[in-house]
Amino acid sequence: MNSIVDSLTRIKQIFNLPQRIDPNSIGSKDISVPFNSLNQLLNENLVDGGSAFNSQPTLKQFLDFGNSLQLFLNDDTQLQLQFFGSISCQLKLNQIHLSLDSFELTHKEKGIAMEYAIEILPTVSKFVHQYKADEFVLSNTIFFAWWD
């Protein structure tokens, strides 16, 4: 298994974080996590897929949600899925903890096309209701949900 310093270095590479951040100073940082990066973090065992805070979905549940939208996350649709949360480094426990508290599904340049929105809405709605999101915003440019 990698040391926490090796894991932190790899996470900084994935998220293009400043290299001057060291394990003693990372504390808790707000972070934006593209869908593909979350997949990469879990595949490389850099974070625990069961990690969550309070009633938020786990990292694995967020990843499964992203996978259920995979058909729509391509160059043709120009849709992108972004997760948001915080990452912290706990040296005493030799752990890096990532928890996600929201997602955003947007078009890279303009609003979500109606035909995609209609097809995606049942999947988004199921996830939001299943995991009891505190807020869900639906507009012609964005789907957004967050948990406390």
pLDDT digits (tens, 9 = 90+) for 87-124: 877 665 567 788 899 999 988 777 777 778 888 999 99
How far apart (Å, rounded) are the C-alpha atoms in residues 25 and 53? 21
Q: How far apart are CA 85 and CA 54, in angstroms?
A: 13
Nearest to residue 67, comparing CAs of 51, 81, 88, 53?
81
Q: Is the pLDDT of residue 35 over 60?
A: yes
H/E segment holding residue 114: helix 114-130
How confident is the model over 8-18, as pLDDT tens digits?
778 878 877 65
Q: Rounded distance, CA 113 to CA 62, Å? A: 23
Model confidence pTM above 0.75: yes
Give the count of domains, the chain: 1
pLDDT at 92: 58
Q: How far is it, in rounded angstroms, from Cα 84 to Cα 9?
A: 20
> Where in the sequence is the domain holding 123, given as residue range(s)?
4-146
Three-state DSSP class for residue 1 = coil
Using pLDDT thresholds of 50, 70 and 90, give the confidence band for residue 1.
Answer: very low
